[in-house]
Amino acid sequence: MRFSANLGFLVTDRPLPQAIHAAAAAGFDAVECHFPYEVPAAEVAAALRESGLEMLGLNTHPGDREAGDFGLAALPGREDEARAAIAQAVDYARAIGAGNVHVMAGKTEGGAAAEATFRANLTYACDLAAPHGIGILIEPINRRDVPGYHLATTDHAAAIVETLDRPNLAIMFDCYHVQIAQGDLLRRFEALRHLIGHVQFASVPDRGEPDRGEVDYAWLLPQIAGRGWEAPFGAEYRPTGARTEDGLSWLTAFKAP
């Protein structure tokens, strides 16, 4: 199995280019990130070349976090902002060779207008990204952590992907969020396998290192791999220690044959 370090949570005590090198030194096979936009793309691209790691994906800008934003794509009346964020993400992904852009839906009260806005913005994103070989991901995020998030279940995500029917649109299957919202991780993965573009994981319920908590990833991840998943698994957890490197015994154990 191969693993990706999500540098939105891991190795955050160093600038992003240095974090990429640290992930390589720690034994990760790839990296991904949240919002890299304050770092010049050329610096990130250079670090990826030097380290030999691939950047699997990044997120669209979430909007004004202080005002409560957690994404823009499903917010009626803010289409211009959402599409600017999508264009920014696609341009940055092109510049660093990232494979995917996660389009963040945002918090809504639900309803037809929000859903129509989300689907229209996803169509825009797919059309913009497709000529460059970039995938578009949507991620169900549990509403315990993010109350009001528009996309909270894999069923909702699957309906969107199947209805829009774009070859570069897929689900980000984050085991942490799916376990909290729905559970039954392996069977749910099996049912959605053809729609999934990336898999992430963290312990439940504390979102710490994955060698603890209610999900046995030492069992689950090999089961997923055994069902044909060959891409790196994305480690998106909050380290419990002062340094990410202090809590990486799981990586050695999970990678052992």
CATH number at residue 10: 3.20.20.150
Please report the pLDDT score of residue 242 as a whole number: 86
Q: How many domains does the chain have?
A: 1
Kind of pairing, strands 169-174 and 196-201? parallel
Positions annotated as catalytic residues are: 139, 236
For residues 241 and 208, the answer to whether their CB atoms sit within 8 Å is: no
The span from the CA of 230 to the CA of 255, in Å, is: 13
- Give the tokens for residue 199: 């898999």
CB under 8 Å, gap of 24 or more: what pairs does 226-232 form?
227/189, 227/190, 227/193, 228/193, 229/193, 229/199, 231/2, 231/56, 231/198, 231/199, 232/2, 232/3, 232/4, 232/28, 232/29, 232/30, 232/56
Distance of CA 16 to the CA centre of its chain: 17
Regarding pTM above 0.95, the answer is yes
Q: Consecutive sets of 10 residues in the chain, 257 residues long: mean pLDDT of each?
A: 98 97 98 98 98 98 96 98 98 98 97 98 98 98 97 98 98 98 98 98 98 97 96 97 94 88
Cβ neighbours of 35 (radius 10 Å): 17
- Give the tokens for residue 27: 């034994």
Please report the pLDDT score of residue 257 as a whole number: 66
Please report the pLDDT score of residue 78 as a whole number: 97
Domain coverage including residue 93: 3-255
- Strand, helix or coil at 213? coil
